[in-house]
Amino acid sequence: MNLMFRKNFSTEKTVSSGGGGGKAKGALGAGRNAKRRDRDRYSCMEEHHYRTHLFFSAPRASTQYNDGSERCGPVIGGGTGSDPEPPQPLVTRDPSVSLMRWDKPPSTERRRTEPVSLATLERDCFVIPAHALDRFLPDGVPLPVPPPTPEKGMTTKTQNSLSILEVADPKLCILAHLMSPLEPIEPILESPLAKPLTKQKTAASELLNDVAHANTAVGGMLLANMEKNAEFPFIAYYVINTTQTDPLLFYNNMRSASLSKFDPKAMRYSAAHTLDLYSEVAMICRPPFNDLAGGPKKSHTPTTGFIISVYKVFEGDDGERFERNWLYWTGARMLYRHLPHSVGMRKIALHKSVAAHGDKMYLLVCECANLLDDLSGAAMLVTALRARLCGYTGLYRPIQTF
């Protein structure tokens, strides 16, 4: 950290009626007062929270958020009311900078008159299931106002209330298969021409094809890490429709198939496999929203990439206060604010394991449509995420989907 010292030169001279001793005393006092005034002019370093963080800046007034950049907002409701109030900030936390703000719309802007739906939304928004609203609605955001009922009477819109659009529950469950690198059972007898990474990729692709032919999942993809010596070189991601397939039965079948496909006796290699069922508890989406209930193949392009973070907490540590601050400890706030626009961020989804007992796993999946076109910008942000020494973060690209 570089420190800059500033010295003030005053044009007015100090008038002293005494001798040399009095003049020296006056100069000394003036120097002390000058230092005190200089210190009072600049706020203390301790008042700027998160100053030591690479991407957190000091508090700024709301009037400075006029850079015209794209901001995140809530799901917009019907918008037929007569009050012209602009949407309020989605997350406000002092003294740090707010996560998601948007500029005040001009007074000449007309309100939307057509019905609002997922197809007509033009603003970034949160998607949170109703059963997880009290735990994953970001801390500092007021709970949505319930609709008016004859028993409770009409509910007036408050200043901090959110505009809500209710969408149908897609009834989806996620199974993630994390694979560690293959290690030889007998390192001395291993051939120098062996390619364990290729063997692992072939076995994982065959397993994905078996699931696709069985038609037990809505969609699936095999993700490959784009870095060397990764902790999880491959991740298999399956989307399950709970109305068509029992998630627990699918998990048991996948576990048995993985054990047989990666049998150490046949492959002469061993690896750690982590399979778990997850529910999508929160998501930051960017329009268009036509692929929320579909498989991963619908939204893929040749340049699509993913930034995936894996977190694990002990049983009992997944409290309400911990989960309501998920934007911070998962790095979702940093990803949303500092990912380059050129990577084409589509959504940031948080998954939580559904196991009733044992340690809890969290997956943060950030999907970018053009990640491979601007990989350097995303790689710098991944380095900053790893500097927090929290969880595991990697860059992945899909190599096979169905």
The tens digit of pLDDT for each residue in 224-257 reads 999 999 999 999 999 999 999 999 999 999 999 9
Structure confidence at residue 123 (pLDDT): 85
Residue 95 preceded by cis peptide, ω within 30? yes
Cα 131 versus chain centre, distance: 20
Q: Are 103 and 71 in contact (CB under 8 A)?
A: yes
Alpha carbons 73 and 271: distance in angstroms, whole number: 43
Average pLDDT value over all residues in the chain: 77
Compute the chain's Rg from CA coordinates: 28
| Structure token digits, residue 64 | 């400075």
| Structure token digits, residue 207 | 């397993």
Domain-wise residue ranges, the chain: 53-402
pTM of the model: 0.69
Residue 134 has pLDDT above 80, yes or no: yes
Beta-bridge partners for 306: 367, 396
The tens digit of pLDDT for each residue in 64-113 reads 444 444 444 444 444 444 444 555 544 444 444 444 444 545 555 555 55
Residue 121, φ and ψ in degrees, nearest 5: -70, 140
Q: Are 398 and 306 in contact (CB under 8 A)?
A: yes
The tens digit of pLDDT for each residue in 46-67 reads 444 444 444 433 444 444 444 4
* Average of per-residue pLDDT across 198-215: 96
Structure confidence at residue 269 (pLDDT): 95
Q: What is the torsion angle, in degrees rounded to the nearest 10, for the CA atoms of residue 213, residue 214, residue 217 and residue 219?
A: 0
Structure confidence at residue 148 (pLDDT): 57
| Cβ partners under 8 Å of residue 153, min gap 6 | none
Q: Which of the listed ranges 24-28, 113-117, 146-150 does the model predict with the highest average pLDDT?
A: 113-117
